[in-house]
Amino acid sequence: MDEAAAFAATAATAAGLTALAVLPLPARADGGSASSLLSRQDAIQQATLWMPRGAQITSTNCTEMIIDSSVRYFCSVQWGPAAQ
Residue 71 inside a domain? The answer is yes
Per-residue pLDDT, 80? 94
Residue 57 lies in a domain: yes
Q: Is residue 47 part of a domain?
A: yes
DSSP code of residue 2 = -
Residue 18 has a pLDDT of 39
Answer whether residue 15 is part of any domain.
Answer: no
Residue ranges making up the domain that contains 57 = 26-81
User: What CATH number should be reported for the domain holding residue 48?
Assistant: 3.30.1660
Alpha-carbon distances, residue 61 vs 22, 24, 33, 54, 69 (angstroms): 31, 28, 9, 21, 22
Count of domains observed in the chain: 1
DSSP-based three-state secondary structure for 52:
coil
Give every CB contact of residue 79 below 8 A, 6+ residues apart in sequence.
27, 29, 30, 31, 48, 51, 55, 56, 57, 58
Reported as type and span, the H/E element at residue 69 is none
pLDDT of residue 83: 73
Domain assignment present for residue 75? The answer is: yes
Tell me whether residue 20 is in a domain.
no
Question: Quick check: is 63 in a domain?
Answer: yes
Per-residue pLDDT of the chain (84 residues; tens, 9 = 90+): 566 555 455 555 554 443 334 444 455 679 999 999 999 999 999 999 999 989 999 999 999 999 999 999 999 999 999 876
